[in-house]
Amino acid sequence: MSKRQSAKYKLDRRMGENIWGRPKSPVNRREYGPGQHGQGRKGKLSDFGIQLRAKQKLKGYYGNISEKQFRKIYDQASSMKGDTSENLIGLLERRLDAIVYRAKFVPTVFAARQFINHGHIRVNGVRVNVPSYRCKPGDVIEIREKSKQLAIVLESVQLAERDVPEYISADHSKMTCTFVSVPAFGDVPYPVMMEPNLTVEFYSR
């Protein structure tokens, strides 16, 4: 289970942005930071502060991945050929919880993680209950037969707040999707501006 169950929107207010683009986000009502001094004057961020915030925002967007796990993904991205920031986004989008969320099987990344943990998802016909499982292009992800009529799934598929991106081919009548290809940063439908290049700068200090 995610550490940030009841307070996940605290991240929205800390960043001052509606990170997941959700209508219920408190940022829509209160644009100042959380806590007693949230309405106080905001200091100017240093370069380190800007990089840290970019890293925290990206990490938080994917269900508040732990620092250890996120650092490991960054290390893998930096050891691959090509642009590290593009590789980082590609690795994050290959996570099973990210794909389940993108396919609109569940309303949030946090729900995706719980949904997988509880054994509702199959990859290529095999049950997988590890949210960080890394999918390959061509993998078929489906909701197991018993879980296809769950209220959370039926409601999520109807959500108008986001669309399924082109790199995922989803069939909501059968509750299956295919991970078509690893996306480039420009293909990922983030509701707010993400800066993976600053995340790379943060770790390569």
What pLDDT digit, counting tens, does each position of 83-123 carry?
A: 999 999 999 999 999 999 999 999 888 899 999 999 999 99
Residue 4 domain-assigned (yes or no)? no
Same-domain pairing of 140 and 171? yes
Range of the domain at 130: 95-181
Structure tokens at 28: 């829509």
Same-domain pairing of 157 and 105? yes
DSSP class per residue in the chain:
--S-SS-TTHHHHHHTS-TT--TT-GGGT--SPSSTTTTSPPPPP-HHHHHHHHHHHHHHHTT---HHHHHHHHHHHHHSSS-HHHHHHHHHHTBHHHHHHHTTSSSSHHHHHHHHHTT-EEETTEE---TTPBP-TT-EEEE-GGGTT-HHHHHHHH--S----TTEEEETTTTEEEE--PPPGGGS--SS---HHHHHHHHT-
**pLDDT at residue number 191:** 80
Of residues 126 and 10, the one with the higher pLDDT is 126
Same-domain pairing of 131 and 102? yes
Block residue for tokens 């996940």: 8
Same-domain pairing of 72 and 107? no
Structure tokens at 171: 């069939």
Same-domain pairing of 175 and 194? no
Residue 145 domain-assigned (yes or no)? yes
**pLDDT at residue number 197:** 94
Same-domain pairing of 87 and 146? no
Same-domain pairing of 137 and 99? yes
Same-domain pairing of 88 and 141? no
Residue 5 domain-assigned (yes or no)? no
Q: What is the pLDDT of residues 167-180, one digit of tens each?
A: 999 999 999 999 99
Residue 40 domain-assigned (yes or no)? no
What's the CATH code of the domain at 61?
1.10.1050.10
This prediction has a pTM of 0.84
Same-domain pairing of 59 and 102? no
Residue 160 domain-assigned (yes or no)? yes
Same-domain pairing of 75 and 99? no
Same-domain pairing of 60 and 108? no
- Alpha-carbon distance values, 12 to 3, 109, 110, 204 (Å): 16, 14, 14, 26
What integer is the mean pLDDT of 123-149? 95
What's the CATH code of the domain at 161?
3.10.290.10
